[in-house]
Structure 1
Amino acid sequence: MRAHGAERAQATVLHVRCRPDTSEDAYRQVFDMLTGYSPVGQALPSAAALVEARGALPYFGCSSDQLAARIRLRAMALVGVDVHVGVASSWAVAAMASARPARNGIRLVVPDGEPAFLDQLPIEALHGIGPVQATRLRTFGLETIGALAATRP
């Protein structure tokens, strides 16, 4: 039996990002397809979606990145939409991962790998940091998320 904390630390949150030019109808078809993998999902503005896949993994008998690959393949085959999928233990990291996919269109960020992934990202990649805040933080020499994380309060 797993400890409660170990369960939470799995990379089971998928952020599925459609191309910006995806039609509303195609996006709805992709989202409907996602609900076949997990009923725990949320449509997001700009043609994206979050899916909690923890319950789906044992059902489909695969890992998170294998499920992401299935989703990509089905979205392309059934709807004709190329999606990028970020997989992480939180929605924020999964969203940043989907914006920076590997060559296969998927970026898996395991919990132990989150610091290495986040540390090198530019400060504006952090959710909630806009251009004005990023400019201000840069005046203090904070160029990356890692530099911000290492700063004392």
Structure 2
Amino acid sequence: MAGPDRQRKVIHVDMDAFYASVEQRDDPDLRGKPIAVGGSRERGVVAAASYEARRFGVRSAMPSVTAKRKCAELIFVKPRFDVYRAVSRQIRAIFAEYTPLIEPLSLDEAYLDVTENLKAVASATDVAEQIRARIRAETGLTASAGVSYNKFLAKMASDENKPDGLFVITPRMGPAYVEALPVGKFHGIGPATRARMEGLGIFTGTDLKARTLDFLREHFGKAGLYYYWLARGVDERRVSPDRVRKSVGAETTFSADLFTPEEARAALDPLITKVWTYCEDASIRGRTATLKAKYADFQQITRSRTVDEPVESRAMLEEMVIALAEPLFPVSKGIRLLGVTISSLDVESTPRPGQQLRLPFQGS
């Protein structure tokens, strides 16, 4: 790990439209066509969209009906999570040849600390290029990468030249890059926080930097300190391969509010799958299921249920979550966000320090 006087070198690798790209790789008839993984013509939610579909405005977490309206030629493909996990393991093995400091965020993205890498390559940019080339050669897929001196900027950089791109934010570039960034583009600042910031006259990194620490703490609580330093291009979080998770969760903000139990069940299905996939891959179990709902007016509620024994199947988790969702209906105002979390994790089955975690996917 980098010493106190040594600049850290961080890479964020993000696979390009991972689920959709795997499907197009394995089925030549799908190549070059707009496809949506998950959902169907009549119901459900899109789990991932190919770049061809994204040109029509199709996005992950979008109701299938909306996606079909946006793209009449959209092809729906059933997800194959076993295949995605297998490819993710291939990619993770490539990472491990360069550094043991790997922090997975999902099946298709991870942070790597390559300050002192196993190949003794001086340039983090060169390491990123080598990794991208290896991924293409061994999996037939493309990856984008961001290189910088901290996690926040590496994550932002990986989005700059997607798909199949590389972008570097040097220490000299960092502060100016952040100052020019709209706050809505900051990783970790969602729609609700962005709206609050804009209501306070904070639209860019420059605006955020101009606010005092006391002001940010007053309006954003503990997160105020984090935002204060982000506005200055500072992020001291380390790449942590052995972080212990207290909960596992996934949530989605919808492009159109939900009003019926049927819409909610369809929207919850991929979230339950994401959470359970993580639990399976990381060999952990939890006893508390929590449902989060945010309404159109941004009012937020949570409902939880705890059982005596760890949840041992996806079906059991689904049953708990649906039971928590049913009392929400009928609704007088639409639901704009749903989230599913499992907590009270079984400590004895939590991954050992150094064991790599495979988190649920995120659209990219």
Specify the TM-score bucket, using the shorter chain as the normaliser. Answer: 0.7 to 0.9
Q: 1:36 aligned to 2:33?
A: no
Cα deviation, residue 146, structure 1: 2.5
Q: Is structure 2 residue 73 aligned with structure 1 residue 13?
A: no
* TM-score, scaled relative to structure 2: 0.38
1:130–1:46 Cα change, 3 Å: farther
Q: Name the CA distance, whole Å, in 1 between partners of 2:86 and 2:180.
A: 36
The 3 A distance-change label for structure 1 pair 102 and 63 is: farther
Q: CA deviation at 1:150?
A: 2.1
Q: What's the CA shift string for 1:81-131, capped at 9, x where partnerless?
A: 211111111111111111113787111111121112111222022233110
Matched, 1:96 2:156: yes
- Tell whether the 8 Å contact from 2:142 to 2:163 is kept in structure 1 after alignment: no
Of structures 1 and 2, the one with the larger relative CO (CA 8 A, separation 6+) is 1
Which residue in the other structure is 2:211 paired with?
151
In terms of fraction of residues, the more helix-rich structure is 1
Report the equivalent of 2:71: none
Unaligned runs of 5+ residues in structure 1 are none
Identity %, equivalent residues: 27
Which residue number in structure 1 is paired with residue 182 of structure 2? 122
- Tell me the CA shift for residue 144 of structure 1: 1.4
In 2, the alpha carbon distance for the partners of 1:53 and 1:101 equals 21
SS across alignment from 1:30: helix
Pairwise CA RMSD: 2.1
Larger Rg: 2
Q: Aligned equivalents of 1:121 and 1:127: distance in 2?
A: 11
Moved over 6 A (4+): none
* Aligned counterpart, 1:65: 125
* TM-score for the superposition, normalised by structure 1: 0.84
Q: 123, 134, 137: which is aligned to 1:77? A: 137
Which amino acid in 2 is paired with 1:68? Answer: A
**1:66–1:104 distance in 2 versus 1, CA, 3 Å:** farther
- 1:52-88 superposed Cα distances (whole Å, 9 cap, x missing partner): 101117x433411111111111111111121111111
SS of equivalent residue, structure 1 residue 148: helix
Question: Per-residue deviation at 1:139?
Answer: 1.8
Structure 2 unaligned residues grouped into runs of 5+: 20-83, 216-364
Change (3 A) 1:18 1:104: closer
CA distance in 1, matches of 2:192, 2:121: 45
Question: Would you say the 8 A contact 1:26–1:81 is kept in 2?
Answer: no
Aligned 8 A contact 1:120 1:146 in 2: yes
Within 1, Cα distance between the matches of 2:181 and 2:90?
Answer: 32
The CA distance in 2 between the partners of 1:81 and 1:150, in whole Å, is 42
